[in-house]
Amino acid sequence: MIVAEFEVWHSRPVAPTRRVAITGGKLPIDPAPGYGGLLLAGIVAAYSKDLDEETHDDLVGLMAKVVSGAKIPQPQLRHRFQVDRVGLSSSKHRLLVRDGELVLSLEPDCPPAPQVLAAVYRTGQFEPSQRRSIMTLVSSATRWRHGNVAGLIPWLTGDRVGDQLGEIIVDPKRWACDVFGFESDPANHREVQRRFRALLRDAHPDHGGESEHAAAQIMRLNEARRILLAKGA
């Protein structure tokens, strides 16, 4: 069963001008990040590892602009974003439920940059609160470096046992607790703030954090804190 689907339109490899376009797709995100957010993050994880270092750094900067709602100058990652799909090839990506497990079905042998760009641009089209939650997962996905996507979904969701994926995806609070390393709900907001400050300090390059991942990790920590401090959490 298909639970999420996204189609990316992009230039053919031989085209002189690199272009990318998107359609809405089937991307359920309620509550965020949902199956749709997981598929977008899966696309970024699977294809961003094939980007060169400079392009990868540009991607991190682009995500920060998109999540803030800023106007995005073109081109980005050497591709121009457009609405018109005439003359473009398409790559279709799906998230399936198969025998009770979530499975990523990604288009093989397609250029990586437009797939990643499309996922980031589509994330930017959601409402601000949803956008932040999904972009947190998407930014985390840029750290995936394994070739096989079989273990990608448990890695993205923080699932350690691999058999409760559906529950984890629709439970942002559980995801946030995992980001902060809480085995159960934190006792109070003060505990959340204390853990946030400690993890933020560890993530900062001045304190030994990896500079290339600092922005994504800080974004992830901020979103987890927002979830845990939300009224009724």
Range of the domain at 122: 2-166
> Cα–Cα–Cα angle for 29, 220, 96, nearest 5°?
35
Rounded Cα distance, 73 and 229, in Å: 34
Please state, in angstroms and as integers, the Cα–Cα distance from residue 90 to each residue in 86, 110, 115, 182, 223, following that order: 11, 9, 10, 42, 32
Structure confidence by residue, pLDDT tens digits, 82-136: 999 999 999 999 999 887 788 899 999 899 999 999 999 999 999 998 898 899 8
Residues 95 and 52 in one domain: yes
Tell me the per-residue pLDDT of 180-226, one tens digit each, with 9 for 90 and over: 988 888 878 999 999 999 998 888 766 555 545 566 677 778 878 88
Considering its fold, how many domains does the chain have in total? 2
Q: Are residues 85 and 68 in the same domain?
A: yes
Instruction: Kindly state whether residues 156 and 185 are assigned to the same domain.
Output: no
Q: Please identify, among 118, 139, 166, the residue that sits at the C-terminal boundary of a domain.
A: 166
In this prediction, residues 28-40 reach a mean pLDDT of: 88
| 187 and 98 together in one domain | no
Q: What is the pLDDT of residue 69?
A: 92
Is residue 112 located within the same domain as residue 49? yes
* Cβ atoms < 10 Å from Cβ of 105: 16
